[in-house]
Structure 1
């Protein structure tokens, strides 16, 4: 399993600072949708240039013009882009075509899909996305009855490659790994921490993940 940090901040400066703080402990740097809306797709290239050894994930949440939007992100250096799982099948197929052409990955974001989620996960998987992100947004997480377990149950049942986003913390990340997720996506547990680097390190250790290459290099240099 890989550990992905969501850079859910509004400015490129804040994103670069956060990425620098946690890079030793994460595998994937995600540019959150607000960041891309605020700074434009050029922010993707800035993060990739600063951290060429990391996978850069552009959370476009594309709902239309899938091929065009994916092309824009890939041209800036994105390794992975998202397209909405609720989008038209042709939109998803367009993003997949762009990914194949660029040799990069496309993820279907299942945010807002609750009823019939397993069925839709399987449908978008058949359209050729590399994996699905079973995602509970901030508003859904704020509901008193929300539990990350519902995401894990659907991931196990769907039987296709998936990531989990929505309430992943030091207390739940081991369960995410045990459920078979390829990626654990962490936002607030890292960016809201007093010490984001320590939080990212603790998450990696709680999941029993090996050190990243950069973490090993830092330790050797020290």
Structure 2
């Protein structure tokens, strides 16, 4: 299972500083949507230039113009981009077409898809994405009664390649691995830690 860190900061300098601390312990450096919106697509170029040996994930959450937006990210240096799993099928297909052109990967982000999520996961998987991110956003995680177990159950049931994002930390990453996830996405469990490098190192140990 690969380990992905979400660089959920708002400027390139902070993203580069965090990436420097944790890059040695993770496989994928994700530029969170707020970072891309705040700093622009050039943030992707900056992180890739600083860490050419790492996969750089541009979390665009594309909802329309899939081929165009994916192309912008791939030309900026991204290795993976997200398209919304709730988007029109042609939007997903467009992003996948750009991925094939550039030899890169497209991930379908299932954030906000709750009803019929397993069925939609299977549908978008057939459209050619590399894997599906079963994702609970910050607002969903803040609701009383939220549990990562729902995400894990959907991943097991769907039977396709998936990642998990939303409450992944040292206490839960073993469950993510046991569920068969291809990627564990960790945000606050790393960047909110007193020592992000040590937190990433411990998470890496737990995925071994």
Give the TM bin, normalised by the shorter chain: over 0.9
Question: In the TM superposition, what is the alpha-carbon distance from 1:3 to its structure 2 partner?
Answer: 0.2
Question: How far apart, in 2, do the equivalents of 1:63 and 1:165 lie?
Answer: 19
Partner of 1:87 in structure 2? 87
Residue in 1 aligned with 2:40? 40
Moved over 4 A (4+): none
Question: 1:125 offset after TM fit, Å?
Answer: 0.6
Question: Which residue number in structure 2 is paired with residue 166 of structure 1?
Answer: 166
The structure number with the bigger radius of gyration is 1
CA distance in 2, matches of 1:85, 1:107: 9
Task: Tell me by how many angstroms 1:204 deviates.
Answer: 1.0
Look up the SS of the partner of 1:29 in the other structure.
strand
Which stretches in structure 2 are left out of the alignment for 5+ residues? Answer: none
Find the counterpart in structure 2 of residue 151 from structure 1.
151
Displacement of 1:139 after TM fit? 0.5
* Secondary structure in 2 matching 1:111: coil
User: Paired residue for 2:29?
Assistant: 29
Aligned pairs, number: 208
Residues in 1 aligned to 2:100 and 2:6: alpha-carbon distance in whole angstroms: 24
**How far apart are residue 205 of structure 1 and its match?**
1.1
Q: Which residue is equivalent to 2:98?
A: 98
Give distance in 2, aligned partners of 1:63 and 1:54.
26
Q: Report deviation, 1:144.
A: 1.3
Distance in 2, Cα, partners of 1:131 & 1:83: 11
Which ranges in structure 1 are unaligned for 5 or more consecutive residues?
A: 210-222
Instruction: Output the CA distance in 1 between the equivalents of 2:198 and 2:144.
Output: 28
CA RMSD of aligned residues (A): 0.5
Taking the TM superposition and a 5 Å limit, the aligned residue runs for 1:118-157 are 118-157=118-157
Output the TM-score relative to the length of structure 2: 0.99
TM-score normalised by L of structure 1: 0.93
